Chains A and B, each alone.
Chain A
């Protein structure tokens, strides 16, 4: 009987032998001194290092790309928020500009009126326009000054040193001003250049008309109309309007004169109430 010795190839064909060999190698390297073990590691890793570097580089590049995309997305969102904030701030600036304009206007009104009337001792109350007449056939405004501020009925209301109306109704904190363009408004006036006495009457339009202008009165376009001291309700010599058209109709007793108030009521925001002059 012939007994053959198992060769290495025979041994490696057996899975169990392979496993034992592999485990033995593992145990061998496991119990190697750490210095030697680390050296083996380094030797094995060195050829793979370029691959590792490439992988790491690609990974970092992709990571950075995604990071940039996310950052860009965040930035876009932040930009949108900032745009909204900028819009809000712009609106606030507009609001502030508007307030500054109003205050400037009020200050300008005061500074114009005050020196001119210092000698007369006029007492004035600044007020803001808070409402306009809702009717098409009446012309009045509401102001935010009333009895508590010292405003009384029949006080005169001016803007830019020009008459715009008189107070007709007052409450504690507001008043209603009948404008010179109101159909019920009648103001004794005088033509500055010719000294003719006239009545300035409103007609619910942007213009007024002069009543009782004699036919012989030499009124021409551009003449100024001021308040007269007749009646005592209005302070004298207060500018009111400018003549823009006059005609003499045949058979009529008086001239027909169309005047334009010196102040466009629709464009002012604050007025001065003259309580005493």
Chain B
């Protein structure tokens, strides 16, 4: 399905918005478990070491959970921006891990790819969050800034 929505070599990360979503709506413990499962499932369906994505996702999830009180998480712009920034962070971490493991990444193409993929991931967030809200109406975001 990914080749449908690919723009050039840029493919959105469909797992990452789930991390953002559950980090916004669940408590810390559930957030960690869900993100760990999401990370593990990503590891299962992708080439590479088992467990690396679960570590990154749990870490990113905790970071997002810790800042969610100071942002308007119900606002679409906030969701997009948070996704974009943390997607860059996650992709950079992952690229560093790959670079250390295989020494095969070139800087500029990697930076460009990180930016494009993060942007694309951030762009699909409104649609994905709408779908998730539809399936989980009890966890809908409120526009208030709460903790």
Contact = CB atoms under 8 A, between A and B. Distances in A.
Interface of A: 13, 15, 18-19, 22-23, 25-30, 32, 34, 37, 40-41, 44-45, 55-56, 59, 63
B54 A22 contact: yes
Q: Is the interface of B mostly helix, strand, loop or mixed?
A: helix
B51 A26 contact: yes
Interface in B71-98: none
B111 interface: no
Contacts of A25: 36, 51
A25 B43 CA distance: 14
Interface of B: 1, 4, 27-29, 32-33, 36, 39-40, 43-45, 49-52, 54-55, 58, 62
Q: Is the interface of A mostly helix, strand, loop or mixed?
A: helix
Contact of B51 (A15, A29, A63): A29
A26 B54 contact: yes
B44 A27 contact: no
A61 to B, nearest CB: 12
Given A18-B33, A37-B49, 11 more contacts: A15-B29, A18-B29, A19-B62, A23-B55, A26-B51, A26-B58, A40-B50, A41-B43, A45-B44, A45-B45, A56-B1
Nearest to A43: B44
Given A30-B50, A37-B49, A45-B45, A19 B58 contact: yes
Name the residue in A19, A45, A63 with the highest tally of chain B Cβ atoms < 10 Å from its Cβ. A19
B1 A59 contact: yes
Nearest to B52: A30
B63 to A, nearest CB: 12
B36 A22 contact: yes
Contacts of B28: 15, 19
Contacts of B49: 30, 34, 37
Nearest to A14: B29
